[in-house]
Chain A
Amino acid sequence: MLEAFILTVITAATPLMLAALGELVVERSGVLNLGVEGMMVMGAVAGFAVTISTGSPWLGVLAGAAAGLLTSLLFAVVTLTLVANQVASGLALTMFGLGLSGLIGESFVGQPGIKLQPANIPGLTDLPVVGRILFGQDALVYLSFVMIVVVSLFLFRSRAGLILRAVGDNHSSAHALGYSVIKVRYLAVMFGGAMAGLGGAYLSVAYTPLWVENMTAGRGWIALALVVFASWTPLRIFFGAYLFGAVTVLQFHAQALGIGFPSQFLSMLPYVATVVVLVAISGNRRATLFNTPACLGQSFVPDR
């Protein structure tokens, strides 16, 4: 029972974790991209389309990442090169993504997809209890964990990560030191796009192998909330994503067990958790200042 529960939580948490990790890097560079939902849904449609056209879920996953990246590039050009407002552009990107994915996906509606198969290591996957949890997941689940480590090491243990954080905390100083603020932000936004695309492709290739318009159903927004919930640290993204996933799945179990608890209240819990964390971190001023990118959402125009 516990095993089954954990297995379900993993699939619910993985798309959130992938998209939120990408957005975390974007926000650490000082850019607020509210278009996660749009990039995710583009990843989902591209992943699905390429999977059933080529028969390879792997190519589908790659296509999902590529589609997310291309969509984010549009946002990058508008906000970084043309210096448009990031909030408005991000919202527009979400609407754009939802509309365009519906158009692209029209002929794929009602076709069964091909599922990305989970790993099967003889001997290990069959182990009782932990076998399927540890050794029976699909590649994207493992990738999501690897990315937590990679992003952590990159941000806090590498020179490039230091530059990225400097750009996010004080773009004028970073610029004065000779770093290209715009270039760093372009790369960060593209990384965020690719990760959101992966999260979307996970939905249409691994989670529920099907395509329908709007299939992300708000997960991009949850990923955005997660970044704040995690107060911009990768490890907490992991906790947040699994907490959100666990609460969602738990409420279904509670209902099926006939525990007379209003389902609407349980659906609300993840968001309550975000508000509580926001209150908690804003109470601790030093921690807030330490982790929040100071230039978040501010446009940068080089003075020369």
Chain B
Amino acid sequence: MKKTVLLAGTALALAFGISTAEAAKLKACWVYTGPIGDFGYSYQHDQGRLAVEKELGDKVETAYVENVAEGPDAERVFERFAREGCGIVFGTSFGFMDAELKVAKKFPKVKFEHATGYKSAPNMGLYNARFYEGRYILGQIAAKESKAGVAGYIVSFPIPEVVMGINAFMLGAQSVNPNFKAKIVWVNSWFDPGKEADAAKALFDQGADIIVQHTDSTAAIQVAEERGLKGFGQSSDMAKFAPKAQLTAIVDNWGPHYIKSVKAVLDGTWKPGDAWEGIKDGTVHMADFANMSDDTKKLAEATEAKIVAGWNPFTGPIADQDGKERYAAGVVAPDKDLLGMNWYVKGVDDKLPQ
């Protein structure tokens, strides 16, 4: 209900505010699922929007609507943006897929891009980030730095993106220490600082000495800081919150992609792409490697360089939990498999919630 109210308000403001836009400027528009104040997913997308403003200056004008519920509400927002002269509209959440596609078909002259989905159209491209590349590096760092040989892993929901992350982390950890363990705790929420802190405490109490998270707040790493243990930031660089605990962070850096797309629209060269970008493209950015031994740092940097050079962490041999071989030695898991991943690699000590 709250979202609807906010939405109605924003839509109204847009209706009155933007009709005076100059025709010469390109208008780029963003639709966010959360508040830009989440210091996580939507916040990072908005940082990308700000990067576009900074880079292209007065050639563009940007607009955004935050807190858009996934579903019919989203369709209204996309349609309004399309009618109001947006040249390109970015839908930043998986759940906007169908709504955005519908509007894209209705407005063939407007360009659309959708994040993390799989449906496209002649005027709707896809973009995503290979966060798993970063997770592999986290796994290696964790296995190197952990004295207990056990990491605590806080996760939200069992969707492919999250499972892919756990697997990449474990593959990285096992490449250093084949007996490395991760204790996995599902908090069933993307975002609940209190629960995330409680989960972190429970994991530390049970002997983990490094915390990994696939939830959005800084609560877990703050617990690590308090206890003098280590952890990784998520989505944003959280070093400010945990200067002694943060080993590194996987930062969602959408700026380069957004700048590229908006520039392409300005030059008239935009094509609906299927961009799944990673560390190489700058979309996945590793925060400073800190609070670790030089040895670990070297390994992390070497792996980062290897990934930039084109190596994929999901290169066989990879066996699943039951020991069945999924990819033979040298075989790289195709993207389609990764995007639908619903099984654990060998050594994960958890049953995947079905």
Q: Are B218 and A213 neighbours in the complex by a CB distance under 8 Å?
A: no
B353-A215 in contact (CB<8A): no
B residues 189-246 near A (Cβ < 8 Å) are 189, 191-199, 201-203, 205-206, 208, 217-219, 222, 226, 236, 240-241
Distance, CA A91 to CA B38, complexed state (A): 23
A51, chain B: closest CB distance, angstroms: 14
Task: State in angstroms the CA–CA spacing of A8 and B5 once bound together.
Answer: 36
Would you call A217 and B152 a contact (CB within 8 A)? Answer: no
A residues less than 8 Å from B40 (CB atoms): 212
Contact string against B for A residues 260-289, beta-carbon threshold 8 Å, 1 for contact and 0 otherwise:
101110010000000000000000000000
At the interface, yes or no: B35 with Cβ under 8 Å from chain A? yes
Question: Are A95 and B43 in contact, CB atoms less than 8 angstroms apart?
Answer: no
Docked pose: A95 CA to B3 CA in angstroms: 9
Docked complex Cα distance between A236 and B104 (Å):
56
The answer to the question of B37 belonging to the interface, with a C-beta cut-off of 8 Å to chain A, is yes
- Least distance between A197 CB and chain B CB atoms (Å): 17
Query: In the complex the two chains form, is B2's CB within 8 Å of A99's CB?
Result: yes
B240–A111 contact, CB under 8 A?
yes
Contact with A along B152-196 (1 / 0, CB 8 A): 100000000000000000000000000000011111110111111
In the complex, chain A residues whose CB is within 8 Å of the CB of B183? 255-258
CA distance A111 to B222 in the complex (A): 12
In the complex, chain A residues 90-124 whose Cβ is within 8 Å of any chain B Cβ: 91, 94-95, 98-99, 102, 105-106, 109-112, 115
B residues 16-35 in Cβ contact with A at 8 Å: 34-35
CB-defined contacts of B205 to chain A, threshold 8 Å: 1, 4-5, 8, 253
Residues of chain A contacted by B197 (CB below 8 angstroms):
11, 207-208
Interface size on B, residues (CB 8 A): 46
Whether the Cβ atoms of B351 and A208 lie closer than 8 Å is no
The answer to whether A210 and B241 have CB atoms under 8 Å apart is: yes
When C-beta atoms are compared, the residue in chain A nearest to B200 turns out to be: A252
Q: Which of A1-52 contact B (CB under 8 A)?
A: 1, 4-5, 7-8, 11-12, 15
Chain A residues in 8 Å Cβ range of B38:
109, 212-214
| B40 smallest CB distance to A (angstroms) | 8
A203 interfacial contact with B, CB 8 Å: yes
Residue of B nearest to A252 (CB): B202
CA distance A213 to B2 in the complex (A): 13
Q: In this assembly, does A219 line the interface, its C-beta being within 8 Å of a C-beta of chain B?
A: yes
Interface residues on chain A, size class: 35 or more
Is there contact, CB below 8 Å, between A253 and B206? yes
Q: Smallest Cβ distance from B228 to chain A, in angstroms? A: 15
A71 lies within 8 A of chain B by Cβ: no
Alpha-carbon distance A249/B195, docked complex (angstroms) = 8
Question: Is there a chain B Cβ closer than 8 Å to A144's Cβ?
Answer: no
**CB pair A217 B241 closer than 8 Å:** no
B188 touches A263 (CB 8 A): yes
Complex Cα distance, B219 from A115, in Å, reads: 12
Q: A110-B236, A264-B353 are in contact. Are A210 and B217 (CB under 8 A)?
A: yes
Tell me if B1 and A95 are in contact (CB < 8 A): yes
Query: Would you call A109 and B43 a contact (CB within 8 A)?
Result: yes
Q: How far, in Å, is B312 (CB) from chain A's closest CB?
A: 30
Is the pair A207, B194 in contact by a Cβ cutoff of 8 Å? yes
Cβ-defined contact, B6 with A99, below 8 A: yes
21 of the cross-chain contacts (CB-CB < 8 Å) are: A8-B198, A111-B240, A112-B218, A112-B222, A203-B194, A208-B196, A208-B218, A208-B222, A209-B222, A210-B39, A210-B217, A210-B219, A212-B37, A212-B39, A212-B193, A215-B193, A248-B198, A252-B199, A252-B203, A253-B206, A263-B353
Additional A-B contacts beyond A95-B2, A215-B194 (6; CB < 8 A):
A102-B35, A110-B240, A115-B226, A210-B193, A212-B40, A212-B217
